[in-house]
Amino acid sequence: MTNIKVTRVSDSRFQVNVTEGRSQTDHVVTVTPSDLQRYGAGATAEGLVEASFRFLLEREPKESILRTFAISVIEGYFPEYPAEIRRRL
């Protein structure tokens, strides 16, 4: 089972801890107000970050996810991200 813990560290920065069994990775994600409006579909920033990590983990192992990134970067790797994340939220 994969556990995703999202902790707000500032207005737009979030610490994300992904744990699978005994293995874990840590990430820092930036979500601006415009990102939340574009991708969030009325969700909280924390909800957007968690759903985005679930989206990413369906496509790549946690070790392949960038350690520090802006949420908008996901779209550059996965063009289906905006439509899919809005559908999920």
Q: Which domain holds residue 15?
A: 2-88
- Please enumerate in sequence order all residues whose Cβ is within 8 A of that of 3, keeping only pairs 6 or more positions apart, or say none: 17, 18, 19, 20
pLDDT in tens, 4-43: 999 999 999 999 999 999 999 999 999 999 999 999 989 9
Q: Which pLDDT value is given to residue 41?
A: 81
Q: Which pLDDT value is given to residue 76?
A: 97
In angstroms, the CA 74 to CA 70 distance is: 8
Domain count, the chain: 1
Residue 59 above 90 pLDDT? Answer: yes
- Cα–chain center distance at 80: 14
Q: With cut-offs at 50, 70 and 90, classify the pLDDT of residue 1.
A: confident
